[in-house]
Amino acid sequence: MPTAEPRYASTEALDQQATVAAFPLGGIGTGNVSIGARGDFRDWELQNCPGKGNRLPFTFCTIDVRPPGSTDPGAAVTKVLEGRFAGPHEGDSGYPWGVVAGLPRFRTSSMLGRYPLLGIDFEDDRVPVKPSLEAFTPLVPLDPAESGLPTAVLRYRVHNPTDQELQVTLALSLASPVGMDSWKSDGFPTFSEAPTVDFREDGDVRGLSFTAAGGTDDFRYGTASLTTRHDDVSVKPRWLAGAWSDGVQAFWNDITADGRLEPETRESYDDKTPTTGTRIGSLALHRTLAPGETGDYEFLLSWHVPNRHQAWHQGNEGWDDVVLNHYATRFPDAWAVAGHVHQNLPQLEASTRGFTDALFGSTLPAEVIDAAAASLSVARSTTCFVIDDGTAEGQFLAWEGSFDHEGSCLGTCTHVWNYAQTLAYVFPSLERSARRNEFLREVEENGRMHFRSVRGFGGDKHWDFRHPAVDGQLGTVLRLYREWRHSGDDQFLAELWPQVAKAVDFSFDYWDPDGDLILESVQHNTYDIEFHGPNPLGSVMFYGALRAAAVMAEASGDGERAKRYAVAAENGAAAMDQLLFNGEFYIQKLDDVDAYRYQFGVGVLSDQLLGQFLAHLTGLGHVVDADHVKSAIKAVFDHNFRSDLSEHVSVQRTYALNDEAGLILCSWPDGGRPKLPFVYSDEVWTGIEYQVAAHLIFEGFVEEGLTITRAVRQRFTGRNRNPWNEAECGNHYARSMASWALIIACTGFDWDGTAKRLALAPVVGDRSRPFTTVFTTGTAQGRIVLDGDSAEITVDHGTLDLAELVIDNRPYTSDDQGPVPAGHTLRFTPA
C-alpha cells in the first residue's frame, strides 16, 4: 500500500517545485499552450503539431503596483507575475535572454488545477497586493465545437489588502505565437520572415493582433490575438527589434517609469530593422484598487493556424496538400475567434463551470475524480484533432499519443483506443465519427479491419501491416455497440451494420480456423507483437464482440446472425473457460512458451478480461463464467499490483519505479516466465491500470480498484510527473482515457439511449449521506443526487429525455414528464 497520504494535484496546490506540472489550455483539435506551476507560459503547440518544451521569448505577465500616478521608483514595485524558478539553474549560457530569469518574481506560487479550470495564487512579501490567475478554455460537454475553441481565458485577479489606494497594472507581453519556421533545440522559435503585430480595436474588444508573414495557404500561416474588454489599457504594440536586449530593456524602462506603456517611437536602434525574428507586443490593463478592493484583469488569447498537412506523416501521399482544421471552417481568423468568445463568454463559462462543479462536486472518491478529470485533457491535447471533411461536424482523427515533437503512431489505433472511455461519455459524437471512419473506410471486403485508419485523410491506401489486430478489430465492434446504445441513434447503426457484420464474420474465419470458438491463430495485439494459440485476451474480446453484435444484429433485423453470434458466444466462452482457466485465472495455452518470442504462457495477464471490461461498460453483463471472472480479476490485482516497485525487475520502458506503486502488465507467480516474454510485460501502463481498477470495482472489489487508482494518481501529482499528461508511447496517451470507466464502475451508471433508460447503483460512498455524481447521456449532462430514497436529477447541459430510471436495481418514478432542458431538476422516488 502507498505509505504517503493520498495527495492529488486537484486537491492540494502545487508550488513552483512542481517543475513538470503543465496545465494545458486549448480546445479539441486546436493545439495547446500550457501554464506551469510558476504561472509561466510553456509548451506552445498551436502549430498542429506537438511541441513539448516549445517556448516563446519574452512572454510573461508583469505586475506593477504604485500609488496612483506616482513616478517615484521607490514607491513602486514591479515584478514578473510568476513564482521564482525552482532550479536546477543549469544552461550552457545560464538562463537565456528570452526567459528573462533575471527579473524579480514572486517568492511563492501555488497552483490548483481542476481540469478544465486552473487557479494560481502568488505571494511575495515585497508586493502589497495579492494577485492570482484563473485560466481555462471553455469546455461544453457533448459539444466538441464549443469545446474546440482555439482560445484561452486568462483572468488575473488582484486584491488590495492595504489601507491605501493603489494603481495596479497587469501587462501581458507576448511574442508572436504564429508564423515560425521551426523551433530550435533551446525551445525558441525561428522566423525567417517576421510576423506583424498591431494594436486593434473593434467595439469594446481591443488588443494585439498578430499575423504570420507569407501566404494564407502556407502551413506556417496563422493569426493570433491577445484581447480584452477592459477599458483602461495602454500598449506597446511592438517592442524594439534588433540587437541584444534592447527591446526588453526598453519595455522594462517604460513600465517601471509610471506603470503604463507607450508605443516605441522607432522600430529598432539598429541601422536596419531586422526583417526576420520574432515580434513582441505588450498589452497593459490598469485599475485603481481601493483599500480592500479586488479587481479582475481579463485577457483572451486566441489563435488560428488553419492549415494541416493532409496526411499523417511527411512522405505520405497528401502531405503537401492542405486540409483545414475544423475550427477554421467556423472562424476566418483569431480575431473572429476572440470576438465569438468575448461575446459568448458568460454562457461558455457557465457550461464549463456547470460541468466542472458536477464532476468535482460529486461525492466520488477524490482519486476517481482526479483521474477522470485529467483524462479530459487528452481529448483536448495534440493527440486528438478534427479536420474539415465538408460536414458540419468534421472528421475526428487521433494519434495514439503525442511524442514531444511529433504525433505518436498514426490512425486512431483501434487497439489503443479500445481502452478510452472519456470521449464516449463526454464527447460521444467524436467516437461516432471514429467508428464511421473505421467501419466505412477501413473494413475490407473480406471483413478485415485495418487497425490504423489512415484513410481518414482520404485516399485509398490502407496502412500496410501483415496482421489485423484481434483486440482492436473486436473491441471496435463493442465500441460501436457502445456508441449506438449511448446515442440511441438507429440510423447510425443502420449505416454501419453491414460492415460490422463483415468484421465479425471475418473473425471466425481468420482467428478460429479450427472452428472450436477459441481463437488460436496468429493474434496481433496492443503489445505490438502476436500471441499464438488460445489465450484470454483474444477470445474474451471475441465473446464480448459476439454478444454486442448479436444485439445489433437483432436490432438490424438480421436474426440469423443474432442467433449465430449469441450461440457462438455462449459455446465459445464455455469451451475457453474449460481450456484456459487454471483454477485462479486464465492462461495462454502453449506447449512450449519459448517456441515463439514474446508470449506469456502461464503468466497472469492484466488484460486477460479486457473484453469483459468493455462488456460491463455496455450493459452486456458477464460474457464468461462470472465466478471465474471474479477470481481472475482478483488474481490480476493480487499478483500484478505492486505497492513498492523498488525490487521489481524490468528491462523495458519504465513508467513507474522506486517506491512507487503500480500494476504491471504480467507476472508469473507460479514460474514459467518465458525467456523473452512479450515486450511490455514488465511495464506499468495507466490505461491498463484504470481498466483493471474499473473492472475490479465492477466485480465488487471496490477497495482494490481504488487502491490501483490511488497508486496511479500518486505518481502524477506534479512532483515527478505532470498530472495532466499520462505518457505511454507518447504524451497524452489515448489509453489513459480508460479512467472515465471508474466513474461508471463506481456509480453503476448505465444509460441505454435505445430505451431512454438510466440506471444507477453506486458502490462507493457512505449511502447514509447524500451521494452525488456527474452523468452524461447522449444528449444531456447533469448531476444526480441520491439522498435516502429520494433521487434528484439536475440537467446542466442539453436535454434529458428519460423514460425509465432505475436506482440500486429499483425502478423510480417522478411526477414530471417529458424532455427536461438545462437548468431544471427532476425529483424521483421509488416506484
What does the binding site for its own copies look like in residue numbers (CB under 8 A)? 19-20, 52, 84-85, 87-97, 99-104, 107, 126, 185, 243-246, 248-250, 252-253, 269, 401-405, 408, 597-598, 646-655, 657-658, 675-676, 679, 682-683, 715, 719-722, 727-731
What is the four-CA torsion angle of 810, 813, 817, 823, rounded to 10 degrees?
Answer: -80
CB of 136 to its own copies, least distance (A): 24
Question: Measured from the CB atom, is 229 or 653 closer to its own copies?
Answer: 653
Question: Measured from the CB atom, is 134 or 404 closer to its own copies?
Answer: 404
Rounded Cα–Cα distance for residues 307 and 387 (Å): 10
CB of 396 to its own copies, least distance (A): 23
Phi and psi for 145 in degrees, rounded to 5? -70, -50
Question: Measured from the CB atom, is 80 or 170 closer to its own copies?
Answer: 80
Question: Measured from the CB atom, is 250 or 785 closer to its own copies?
Answer: 250
Write the single-letter amino acid at 369: I
CB of 226 to its own copies, least distance (A): 21
CA distances from 831 to 218, 245, 811 (A): 63, 74, 6
Rounded Cα–Cα distance for residues 250 and 173 (Å): 13
Q: At what angle do helices 334-360 and 366-379 cross, to 10 degrees?
A: 160
Q: At what angle do helices 610-617 and 536-555 cross, to 10 degrees?
A: 30
Question: Measured from the CB atom, is 92 or 445 closer to its own copies?
Answer: 92
Question: Measured from the CB atom, is 84 or 462 closer to its own copies?
Answer: 84
CB of 657 to its own copies, least distance (A): 6
CB of 594 to its own copies, least distance (A): 11
Question: Measured from the CB atom, is 463 or 598 closer to its own copies?
Answer: 598
The SS3 call for residue 730 is strand
CB of 811 to its own copies, least distance (A): 48
The SS3 call for residue 367 is helix
Question: Measured from the CB atom, is 87 or 315 closer to its own copies?
Answer: 87
Question: Measured from the CB atom, is 219 or 269 closer to its own copies?
Answer: 269
Rounded Cα–Cα distance for residues 276 and 490 (Å): 56
Rounded Cα–Cα distance for residues 541 and 537 (Å): 6
CA distances from 688 to 368, 530, 606, 617, 822 (A): 15, 18, 7, 15, 35
Rounded Cα–Cα distance for residues 10 and 112 (Å): 6
What is the four-CA torsion angle of 732, 734, 736, 739, rounded to 10 degrees?
Answer: 120
Q: Count CB neighbours of 502 within 10 A.
A: 17
CB of 528 to its own copies, least distance (A): 9
Question: Measured from the CB atom, is 42 or 564 closer to its own copies?
Answer: 42
CB of 252 to its own copies, least distance (A): 6
Q: Nearest to residue 693, comparing CAs of 743, 729, 733?
A: 743
CB of 664 to its own copies, least distance (A): 10
CB of 726 to its own copies, least distance (A): 10
Rounded Cα–Cα distance for residues 338 and 321 (Å): 28
